[in-house]
Chains A and B, each alone.
Chain A
Amino acid sequence: MLRAIGLTKTFGAQTALDRLDLDIRPGEIYCLLGANGAGKTTTINLFLNFIAPSAGEVQIDGIDVTRDPVATKQHVAYIPEQVMLYGVLSGLENLDYFSSLALGKRLPRERLLQLMDEVSLDAGAAHKRVSAYSKGMRQKIWIAVALAKQAKAYLLDEPTSGLDPQAASEFSSLLKRASEGGVAVLTTTHDLFHAKQTATRIGIMKKGRLVESLDSAQIGQTDLQALYLQHMRD
């Protein structure tokens, strides 16, 4: 579903991403770990065609994203670290706006309210202006958009950073539910615990290269931590 083949991105003389190969199937949650500047966000941005690859190829559902970006985006839901919605609109209006862009048609009001309910936002919050929302609330609206879209692939860039533990764990279970429904997930994080809890596979990046790729079930929490730190030391 989500595929990178020899994916390389250079910014001037600097190689941000070096020959990355990835293949994430439906039902998988692939978690990228790595230090600041390792190339995690660059990878996600390449999948979204926000930046053009210097070499290699990115595919979503078999479609090259540089060739038909609009088509590939029908299938993906993207959650950035900071979800920035339109502050002048209410949560419900934001959901209405973005879901209509995502689907090409407007959803009935009952469906919108139902989606709000699914991400556990109450009706009081739904009608408040988003400028008065917390980060977590904005993210919930955005998850509702992803749900409305019924995306086949999720691209998540540090989605749990800044969320309180309860919200983060709610988010994890939501992800798990989605992947059980056949969604392919690519996520990045600095939180090893969260990675171990949620991911089916874990990749460790270092200076633009994928230096380790392992099955989450095959490794314990402490081993993962040791392995990670060892890579960072080298």
Chain B
Amino acid sequence: MRQEMRLLLAERSLWLVSALFLLLIGYALYNGVHQTTLRDRAQAAITTDDARTRADQLSQLGRIMAGREVPSPFQNPADPARMGGGFGAHHALMPSAPLAPVALGQTDLFPGQFKVTYQSKIHFIHANDIENPWHLLSGHFDLAFVIVYLLPLLIFALSYNLLSVERESGTLKLLLSQPLALRTLVLGKVAVRAGVLLGLAVLVPLGVLLLARPESAGAGTSTLWWSLLVGAYALFWFALVVAVNAFGRSSASNAMLLVISWVVLVLIAPVLLNLGVTAASPAPSRTELATRTRMVTIEAMNRYSKLLSADYRHIGKPEVLLPKDGKIEMSGRALASYSIQKQIDEEIQPDLDRFDAQHARQQQLVARYSLLSPAAVAYEGMTALAGTGARRYAHFHDLMDGHHQAWKKFFFPRIDGGIAITEADFPRIPRFVWTEEDARLIDRQAFPALLKLVMPSLLLLGIAAWRLRSYPVV
């Protein structure tokens, strides 16, 4: 094996491929860390901003109650309709997971923050995830992309002619005249190449992550799964290379066969899978949902049109906006938009639930048939570990739904009863609290992904072993 390494070192291809791989990994990591840092910073800014606004509102309320300030009708911290709407709203944030930089996944399709108000969820989420069950091509140049798309090609570059070149150049006869089984020879060659590529693919990112995001040191399990996943994915492609070589064709046909399988497994299969899933379980149309929202909105606006136009009488007499004995008079406009939004929320909720159910069905189908494309399995697995995959987003949405409910539960009775928000209420306003998903879920998703890669690899290795027995040495 050490000898094989020396042989490989003497060839230019190893150096070229390694340098290229290192460059790709480096750029992908830079990109990943950069994007994640931007995101983290933006979220931190939102958090401070939210906190500052809340504090400002509290002191404003103090001044109003002390009679030192006259509230404006649109920005009155005592007004539950304003506070429950946009004025008092806080953001629900999904923080980036420790391994986030390795797979940016759907971070820009699914935003990690929403401004939660009493309005229907339809207003603050964008149901992107509904249309397309599988965003394999997320358009990010991240480590997951490099590994899923490019690593197979680098594996090909180093080993498409693993055996064929030995036969073609006449060295195979010399090798096999030594006490050395063909299988051992192949194993040694693969081990050396896999060692180099996996060493780069696993150790470099690990080092960079530890330096750039020291908190990733705490994500041992995810990191281990990640490494195993990368290893299993590489194993699949090496198994394919060995199986193709075992058929004893020329180096040129091997190269062609391998590139064709790459195109089929990495580019075509995921698309077909998407088409299949969409055909088997079509997503409800988004235009339909939008139309429905519009109709519901118009209906509600018609219903509360009188209230809506009965406004601006406060502008001349701001003192009526002051709380009296814990009660507050809300402007007609504020009440109208509250009533409108409440009606929209109630009427659109069943549609949203239908969307969610449909989405879950699609995800299930995708999970079941992802076996058809190891690239899809690997990509899904990697985004899952990086916390940028569908599962963690679903978890975020669940938390957000809970928060949304709590928010409405807090404000609705106050708006309905015309009860003013007091300074004592402030700490009781529901807060969105992020709780990380159950760590066991990570294992539960990573393990099947690993199996889905290892099983076809074993199958390919089986075929290879069978073909190698009658390998045409001469």
Residues on A lying within 8 angstroms of B by beta carbon are 45, 48, 50-52, 69-71, 73-74, 76-78, 80, 82-86, 88-89, 93, 96-98, 100-102, 104, 106, 142, 155
Contact = CB atoms under 8 A, between A and B. Distances in A.
Given A70-B181, A93-B10, A97-B6, 12 more contacts: A45-B473, A48-B177, A50-B474, A51-B474, A70-B180, A71-B179, A76-B177, A86-B171, A88-B11, A89-B7, A89-B10, A101-B180
B170 interface: yes
A101 B470 CA distance: 22
A50 B173 contact: yes
Nearest to B8: A88
B179 A78 contact: no
Interface residues on B, range: 20 to 34
30 contacts: A45-B473, A48-B177, A50-B173, A50-B473, A69-B181, A70-B179, A70-B181, A71-B179, A73-B180, A76-B177, A77-B177, A80-B170, A84-B174, A85-B171, A86-B7, A88-B7, A88-B10, A88-B11, A89-B7, A93-B10, A97-B3, A97-B6, A97-B7, A98-B174, A98-B178, A101-B3, A101-B175, A101-B179, A102-B179, A142-B174
Contacts of B173: 48, 50, 78, 80
B435 interface: no
Contacts of A69: 181
Given A86-B7, A88-B11, A102 B178 contact: yes
A80 B170 CA distance: 9
Contacts of A77: 177
A70 B176 CA distance: 9
Given A50-B474, A51-B474, A104-B179, A93 B174 contact: no
Contacts of B180: 70, 73, 101
A96 B171 CA distance: 15
Interface in B106-135: none
Interface in B164-215: 169-171, 173-181
Contact of A73 (B3, B7, B11, B178): B178
Closest 7 CB pairs of A and B: A84-B170, A78-B177, A50-B473, A88-B10, A101-B178, A73-B179, A74-B179
B179 A93 contact: no
B231 to A, nearest CB: 27
Nearest to B173: A80
Nearest to B10: A88
Contacts, number: 70
Contacts of A83: 170, 174
A86 B11 CA distance: 10
Contacts of A155: 177
Contacts of A142: 174
A67 to B, nearest CB: 13
A135 to B, nearest CB: 12
Contact of A80 (B11, B174, B178, B470): B174
Interface string B4-21: 001100110000000000
A51 B336 CA distance: 90
Contacts of B474: 45, 50-51
Contacts of B6: 89, 93, 97
B171 A84 contact: yes
Contacts of A88: 7, 10-11
A87 B128 CA distance: 57
Contacts of B178: 73, 98, 101-102
Nearest to B177: A78
Nearest to B175: A101
A219 B378 CA distance: 73
Nearest to A74: B179
A93 B177 CA distance: 18
A102 B474 CA distance: 20
A71 B173 CA distance: 16
Contacts of A102: 178-179
A86 B10 CA distance: 10
A179 B473 CA distance: 28
A84 B177 contact: no
B186 to A, nearest CB: 14
Contacts of A76: 177
A85 B174 contact: yes
Contacts of A84: 169-171, 174
A205 B306 CA distance: 113
B176 A48 contact: yes
Contacts of A93: 6, 10
A133 to B, nearest CB: 14
A157 B6 CA distance: 30
Contacts of B179: 70-71, 73-74, 101-102, 104
A48 B474 CA distance: 11
Contacts of A74: 179
B176 A50 contact: yes
B324 to A, nearest CB: 92
Interface in B129-181: 169-171, 173-181
A50 B177 CA distance: 9
A162 to B, nearest CB: 14
A155 B174 CA distance: 12
A175 to B, nearest CB: 17
Contacts of B176: 48, 50, 73
Interface in B15-64: none
A75 to B, nearest CB: 9
A80 B172 CA distance: 11
B6 to A, nearest CB: 7
A100 B10 contact: no
A33 to B, nearest CB: 21
Contacts of A104: 179
A22 B179 CA distance: 23
A217 B432 CA distance: 102
